[in-house]
């Protein structure tokens, strides 16, 4: 949690300040309270109150900047709230609180699997399309594209592990579920840049290490807790990265000044073998979900950073990924999404 606040702080002025893309009221106070509370959780000081503060601070940042979010953000916010009920002075986690935390992790895997209902997951080509997305794929994975049978096996094994995680836990085979999920998330970390998701998910599997698995919880409140969690998940779930199909376009976003020169959109071209930034997530979300105000905010930032520019045009170019037989997955296009004068 502390690392998450620190990561967001790197782009404070670009995103959360009054002149940023997603201005947050009293943003410095929100960050200060969140980081202090996260530190208190680490030190074990007033943990319940600290977790509530962390949950509230994350909720504020997530509310004002939804285009910067991924599945790990939703999981972190949910777990912070559930952990409030798991903290006790004697160090013993109440069975119902443990069950709620375990149920959250099971729901993440279950809904991630159910959301992958598109044709690319059914025909086994989803992984090959994901590995062509420079925003997420690490460079070494390009060699895997020469082995379509392996990509199909990875696609279908991903579905199997996600869908079978919860049933295996309830069938008293948790170690099989943990092993499969751990291999899945380590594989995701090795192949893709998906931020803190690859850190949070393996750590969350530790919840299943104690002897007290979900089947050992015996209380009439369990059905009520399950129903409440299920309602929340169905009402507001975003465990659907690369679903129902992965994106099948490689995006490039550029800003062109009236002089004909390209103006660098800060952060959007950042692409290294290991780095994953909020800029990368913003780039991924800009196509389908961005309101005009977001492109307008980008343009205002570029005009402010480049006072010599009189007018600015932001364009998006989409290059389709390729199917295993080399055919494009869709049409290529280049369009202007925003233009404005700078003076």
Mind listing the pLDDT tens digit of every residue in the chain (343 residues)? 888 898 888 888 888 988 788 889 999 999 999 999 999 998 888 889 999 999 999 999 999 988 888 878 888 888 888 888 887 777 677 878 888 888 888 988 998 899 898 899 999 999 999 998 887 888 899 999 999 999 999 999 999 999 999 999 888 888 899 999 999 999 999 998 887 788 888 888 888 875 444 444 444 455 455 555 544 544 444 556 777 888 777 766 667 677 666 665 555 544 444 456 777 777 777 765 556 667 777 777 777 777 777 888 887 777 888 888 888 887 887 777 788 888 7
Kindly list the distances between the CA atom of residue 129 and the CA atoms of 84, 96, 152, 154, in Å, as whole numbers in the listed order. Answer: 40, 41, 11, 12
The DSSP output letter for 142 is G
- pTM assigned to the model: 0.79
5/50 Cα distance (integer angstroms): 14
194/187 Cα distance (integer angstroms): 12
CB atoms closer than 10 angstroms to residue 254: 16
Phi then psi for 335, rounded to 5 degrees? Answer: -140, 155
Structure tokens at 296: 């307008």
135/268 Cα distance (integer angstroms): 10
126/244 Cα distance (integer angstroms): 10
The H or E element containing residue 251 is strand 249-257
Local structure of 311: helix, strand or coil:
strand
Residue in this structure with the two tokens 């069938």, named with its chain if needed? 171
Residue 21, CB half-sphere, CA atoms under 13 Å: how many?
27
Cis ω for the linkage preceding 111 (within 30 of 0) = no
The answer to whether the CB of 83 falls within 8 A of the CB of 51 is: yes
Alpha helices in the chain (DSSP H): 2-9, 27-43, 47-64, 71-84, 95-115, 119-123, 126-130, 148-170, 174-191, 197-204, 221-235, 278-289, 292-305
315/313 Cα distance (integer angstroms): 6
**Which strands sit side by side in the sheet containing 333-341, from one edge to the other?**
262-263, 249-257, 311-320, 333-341
Please state whether 83 falls in left (phi above 0), alpha (psi between -120 and 50) or beta: alpha
């Amino acid at each position: 949690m502390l690392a998450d606040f620190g990561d967001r702080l790197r782009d404070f002025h670009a995103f959360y300040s009054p002149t940023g893309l997603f201005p947050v009221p009293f943003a410095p106070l929100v960050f200060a309270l969140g980081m202090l509370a996260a530190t208190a959780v680490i030190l074990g000081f007033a943990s319940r109150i600290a977790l509530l503060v962390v949950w509230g601070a994350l909720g504020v940042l997530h509310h004002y900047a939804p285009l910067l979010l991924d599945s790990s953000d939703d999981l972190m916010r949910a777990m912070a709230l559930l952990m409030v009920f798991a903290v006790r002075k004697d160090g013993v986690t109440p069975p119902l609180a443990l069950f709620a935390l375990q149920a959250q992790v099971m729901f993440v895997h279950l809904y991630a699997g159910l959301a992958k209902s598109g044709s690319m997951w059914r025909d086994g080509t989803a992984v090959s399309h994901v590995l062509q997305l420079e925003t997420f794929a690490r460079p070494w994975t390009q060699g895997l594209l020469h082995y379509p049978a392996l990509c199909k096996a990875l696609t279908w094994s991903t579905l199997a592990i996600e869908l079978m995680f919860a049933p295996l836990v309830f069938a008293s085979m948790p170690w099989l579920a943990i092993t499969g999920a751990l291999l899945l998330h380590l594989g995701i970390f090795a192949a893709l840049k998906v931020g803190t998701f690859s850190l949070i998910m393996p750590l969350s599997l530790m919840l299943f290490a104690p002897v007290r698995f979900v089947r050992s919880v015996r209380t009439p409140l369990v059905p009520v807790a399950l129903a409440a969690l299920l309602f929340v998940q169905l009402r507001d779930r975003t465990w659907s990265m690369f679903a129902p199909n992965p994106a099948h376009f490689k995006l490039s976003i550029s800003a062109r000044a009236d002089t004909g020169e390209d103006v660098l959109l800060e952060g959007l071209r950042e692409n290294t073998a290991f780095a994953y930034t909020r800029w990368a997530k913003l780039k991924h979300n800009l196509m389908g979900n961005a309101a005009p105000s977001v492109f307008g905010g980008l343009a205002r930032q570029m005009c402010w950073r480049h006072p010599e520019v009189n007018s600015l045009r932001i364009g998006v170019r989409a290059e389709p990924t390729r199917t295993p037989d080399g055919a494009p997955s869709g049409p290529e296009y280049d369009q202007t999404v925003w233009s404005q004068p700078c003076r």
